[in-house]
């Protein structure tokens, strides 16, 4: 399998790698290898929430790289797939790790959807690795080897499987209640950053978009995850599951306490 190289680099004039590392609490000496890739991804997942507060306020999410960096790193916010994966791509570029954007078709809906999700495939140590920090509460927790097909892959308490069809489409699944659930499919056709503008506008404005219809915030933790969907909060950890139904007046305090979102 050939090593991928980004068709269009994700750059921001205000990007500061050390400030990014401080934001995600990354420690150690970063180099162009898999341990760095894995460490960066996990650190970002555990510190930068997936969230759609801007969409809930009636805004179209900005895909300007400088604004993404400022929002997440300088102002302590999170974002949805284009933002959190876009920020991750900026860090990969700063480290000199080759990558490409891929367009993915979400398959967690009851009907077939267009390829509105964005993920990253990075190339280190002679392999290609799926990196995704923005698939809500279902996402992978560390890079997946594109050569590791048709086998169970345990990541903390979650189990995933990656397969590839004869048409060249990869299928990502997760094991839930003893059954394999389809998450999304994608191929390695390289996408440019501008290619996601229409999907971003749809996700930010369409009345049927899940991001328009419901408040969402997700933060992965070393032993589980915290999930807010609408007015239901759930925390899954090694100690079990904790559930709350906060009132509208209690939501700001919960977002601050559980997701560091103010």
CATH number, domain of 118, equals: 3.30.2140.20
144-148 contacts, C-beta under 8 A, 24 or more apart: 144/172, 146/1, 146/121, 146/170, 147/1
Count the domains in the chain.
1
Cβ pair 91, 6 in contact under 8 A:
no
Cβ pair 106, 117 in contact under 8 A:
yes
Q: State the pLDDT at residue 116.
A: 97
In a domain, residue 40? The reply is yes
pTM: 0.94
In a domain, residue 121? The reply is yes
In a domain, residue 164? The reply is yes
| pLDDT (tens place) for every residue of the chain, 262 residues total | 344 444 457 899 999 999 999 999 999 899 999 999 999 999 999 999 999 999 999 999 999 999 999 999 999 999 999 999 999 999 999 999 999 999 999 999 888 989 999 999 999 999 999 999 999 999 999 999 999 999 999 999 999 999 999 999 999 999 998 999 999 999 999 999 999 999 999 999 999 999 999 999 999 999 899 999 999 999 999 888 999 999 999 999 999 999 999 8
DSSP 72: I
In a domain, residue 150? The reply is yes
* Partners of residue 106 on adjacent β-strands: 184
In a domain, residue 240? The reply is no
Q: Which domain holds residue 80?
A: 17-210
In a domain, residue 146? The reply is yes
Which residues have CB under 8 Å from 249's CB, separation 6+? none
In a domain, residue 7? The reply is no
Distances 238 to 42, 143, 249 between C-alpha atoms, Å: 18, 22, 29
Phi-psi region of 62 (alpha: psi -120 to 50; beta: other; left: phi over 0): beta
In a domain, residue 1? The reply is no
């Amino acid at each position: 399998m050939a090593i991928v190289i980004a068709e269009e680099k994700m750059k921001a004039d205000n990007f500061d790698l050390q400030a990014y590392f401080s934001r995600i609490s990354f420690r150690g000496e970063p180099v162009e290898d898999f341990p760095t890739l894995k460490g960066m991804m996990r650190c970002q997942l555990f510190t930068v929430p997936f969230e759609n507060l801007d969409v809930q306020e009636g805004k179209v999410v900005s895909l300007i790289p400088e604004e993404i960096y400022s929002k997440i790193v300088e102002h302590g916010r999170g974002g949805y797939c284009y933002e959190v994966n876009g920020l991750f791509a900026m860090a990969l570029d700063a480290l000199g790790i080759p990558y490409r954007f891929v367009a993915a078709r979400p398959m967690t809906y009851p009907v077939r959807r267009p390829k509105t999700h964005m993920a990253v495939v990075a190339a280190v140590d002679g392999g290609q690795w799926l990196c995704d920090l923005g698939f809500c509460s279902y996402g992978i927790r560390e890079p997946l080897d594109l050569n590791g097909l048709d086998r169970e892959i345990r990541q903390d308490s979650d189990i995933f499987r990656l397969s590839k069809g004869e048409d060249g489409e990869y299928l990502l699944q997760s094991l839930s209640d003893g059954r394999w659930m389809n998450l999304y499919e994608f191929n390695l056709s390289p996408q440019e950053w501008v290619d996601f503008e229409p999907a971003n506008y749809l996700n930010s404005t369409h009345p049927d978009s899940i991001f328009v219809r419901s408040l969402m915030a997700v933060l992965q933790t070393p032993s589980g995850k915290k999930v807010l969907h609408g007015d239901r909060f759930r925390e899954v950890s090694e100690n079990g599951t904790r559930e709350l139904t906060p009132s509208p007046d209690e939501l700001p305090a919960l977002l601050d306490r559980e997701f560091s979102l103010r």
